[in-house]
C-alpha cells in the first residue's frame, strides 16, 4: 500500500510517500511555477527516487495553502490537522507544535489524540516567518543556511527595532553602513524573529513536549533562541522538520484507505 501526502505551502511544496507506515521517499521544492505543475513534478521526483510510478499510489491527500491545486490528490485537508497529526506520529508526547514556514508562523496546542485544541497564527504580516530570514540573507548577501552558524558567533546581538520585514531589511543595511559586526546583525535578526514567534506562541499556553516544525526549524540558532525565550526544550525530530505537514497528510491518506 503506497500513500502520498503533499503539503503545498506558500513558498515551498513537499511530497512524502509512505509504505506500510514508513516513509519511503520525500521531496521538497521551491515554488516557481503554477501549483499544478510544481506538485506534479515533485511527485514524479519522489516516485522515481523510490523506484515507483504514479500508478502505484493508492491514495493521496494534499494540504497547505495550495492544497486545492494539487492535481493528483484524492482529497484535501487543511494544514493544522495535518501538522498536528504528523508531529504526534513522530513524537507521541508532543502537546505544542510551533510551525514556522515560509510565510506562516503558527503555534498549535494538541491533545493526546493528536487533535488541535487551540492555535494562534500570524496571517497578516510576514514578521516572524521564513521570509524575514530570507530577506536578511539577501540584504547581507549571505546564504540562508549559513545564517545560524554566523549568529552563534555573536556575543553582542544588534537591536533591530522594525517589526515590518521590509523596514527591517533597510534597518539591517543601515547597521552594516554604520559599521556593526556582521555576526551581531545576523544574531539581532534571529532575536527579532524569536520575539515575534514567542509573542504568537505566548497567546496560547505552551505545554510540553514542544516541537518546532517548518523550514525555519532547521535553523539551530532560531530553535535555541526559542528555547531560551520560552524556557522549554524543543524535542528533536527524526525527519526534516519541513516535511511534518506532508507526513500528516500521508497519515490521513493511510487512515482513509484503512477505513475503506
Residues found near other proteins in the complex (CB under 8 A): 10-11, 32-35, 103, 124-126, 129, 131, 135, 162-167, 170, 173, 177-178
Residue whose CB is less far from other proteins, 74 or 162: 162
CA angle 12, 70, 14 (to 5 degrees): 30
Minimum gap (Å) between residue 251 Cβ and other proteins: 28
Q: Residue 197 corresponds to which cell in the numbers above?
A: 514567534
Tell me the C-alpha distance between 234 and 237, whole Å: 9
Shortest Cβ 131–other proteins spacing (Å): 5
- Asked if 108 contacts 95 with a C-beta cutoff of 8 angstroms, the reply is no
> Please, what is the minimum distance in Å from the beta carbon of residue 92 to other proteins?
35
Minimum CB–partner distance for residue 49 and other proteins (Å): 25
Nearest CB to other proteins, comparing residues 52 and 200? 200
By C-beta, is 67 or 131 nearer to other proteins? 131
CB of 176 to other proteins, least distance (A): 8
3 state SS of 37: helix
Nearest residue (CB) to other proteins, 129 versus 154 = 129
Residues with Cβ within 8 Å of 106's Cβ and at least 6 positions away in sequence, in order, are: 80, 83, 98, 99, 119, 120, 121, 122, 200
Instruction: Name residues whose C-beta falls within 8 Å of residue 117's C-beta, 6 or more positions apart in sequence.
Output: 109, 110, 111
Is 115:85 a contact under the CB 8 Å cutoff?
Answer: no
Residue 161 CB, nearest approach to other proteins (Å): 10
Compare residues 66 and 81 and give the one whose CB is closer to other proteins: 66
At how many degrees (to 10) do helices 165-177 and 130-139 cross?
30
Q: What is the DSSP letter of 11?
A: S
Identify which of residues 49 and 159 has a Cβ nearer to other proteins in the complex. 159
Gap between the Cα atoms of 183 and 58, Å rounded: 49
Amino acid at each position: 500500500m503506497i500513500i502520498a501526502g503533499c503539503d503545498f505551502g506558500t513558498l515551498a511544496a513537499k511530497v512524502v510517500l509512505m509504505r506500510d507506515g514508513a516513509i519511503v521517499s520525500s521531496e521538497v521544492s521551491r515554488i516557481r511555477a503554477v501549483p499544478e505543475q510544481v506538485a506534479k513534478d515533485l511527485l514524479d521526483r519522489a516516485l522515481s527516487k523510490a523506484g515507483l510510478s504514479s500508478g502505484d499510489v493508492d491514495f493521496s491527500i494534499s494540504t497547505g495553502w495550495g492544497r486545492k491545486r494539487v492535481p493528483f490528490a484524492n482529497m484535501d485537508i487543511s494544514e493544522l490537522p495535518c501538522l498536528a497529526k504528523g508531529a504526534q506520529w513522530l513524537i507521541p508526547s508532543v502537546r505544542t507544535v510551533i510551525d514556522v514556514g515560509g510565510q506562516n508562523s503558527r503555534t498549535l496546542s494538541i491533545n493526546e489524540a493528536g487533535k488541535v485544541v487551540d492555535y494562534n497564527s500570524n496571517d497578516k504580516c510576514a514578521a516572524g516567518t521564513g521570509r524575514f530570514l530570507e530577506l536578511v540573507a539577501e540584504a547581507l548577501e549571505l546564504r540562508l543556511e549559513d545564517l545560524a552558524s554566523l549568529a552563534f558567533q555573536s556575543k553582542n546581538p544588534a537591536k533591530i527595532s522594525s517589526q515590518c520585514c521590509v523596514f527591517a531589511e533597510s534597518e539591517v543595511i543601515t547597521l552594516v553602513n554604520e559599521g556593526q559586526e556582521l555576526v551581531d546583525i545576523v544574531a539581532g535578526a534571529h532575536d527579532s524573529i524569536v520575539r515575534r514567534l514567542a509573542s504568537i506562541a505566548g497567546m496560547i499556553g505552551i505545554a510540553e513536549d514542544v516541537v518546532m516544525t517548518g523550514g525555519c526549524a532547521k535553523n539551530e540558532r532560531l530553535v535555541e533562541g526559542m528555547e531560551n525565550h520560552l524556557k522549554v526544550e524543543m524535542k528533536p525530530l527524526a525527519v526534516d522538520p519541513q516535511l511534518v505537514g506532508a507526513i500528516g497528510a500521508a497519515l490521513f491518506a493511510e487512515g482513509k484507505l484503512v477505513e475503506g
